[in-house]
């Protein structure tokens, strides 16, 4: 079953439950800060594993000590869907274990 685009209000309501996440253009985004470059790299690997398990992938950017995600749903024509928020929720759950803020 195709995934339907969320309305602006649905997006805003869901973002209110995800501190640190925001809507940037047609993607939801978050930047995490880590203590070291190696910690940031380990978080990238963990997120990549989660994305493979979900079969849903963000644009993932590794900085010196930051990890940024930007995601929307290609199969919905680049709209934001529940799949994007499912990924965001799983990353929010695993990030603290890496010391991410």
* Footprint on this chain of ligand H2B (rule: CB under 6 A): 55-57, 71, 73-75
Of 51, 62, 52, nearest to 87 by C-alpha is 51
The least distance separating ligand H2B from the CB of residue 77, rounded to whole angstroms, comes to 9
Which residue number, 11 or 34, has a Cβ lying nearer to ligand H2B? 11
Q: Is the dihedral of CA 94, 21, 66, 47 positive or negative?
A: positive
Q: Using an 8 Å Cβ cutoff, are 62 and 41 in contact?
A: yes
Least Å distance, CB 55 to ligand H2B, is: 5
Please, which residue, 63 or 78, has the CB nearer to ligand H2B?
78
């Amino acid at each position: 079953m195709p995934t339907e685009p969320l309305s602006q209000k649905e997006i805003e309501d869901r973002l209110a439950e995800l501190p640190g996440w925001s809507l940037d253009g047609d993607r939801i985004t978050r930047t995490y800060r880590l203590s070291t470059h190696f910690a940031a790299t380990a978080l990238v690997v963990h997120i990549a594993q989660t994305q493979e398990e979900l079969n849903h992938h963000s644009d993932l950017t590794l900085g010196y000590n930051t990890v940024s995600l930007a995601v929307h749903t290609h199969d919905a024509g680049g709209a934001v869907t529940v799949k994007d928020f499912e990924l965001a929720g799983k990353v929010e759950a695993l990030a603290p274990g890496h010391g991410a803020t």
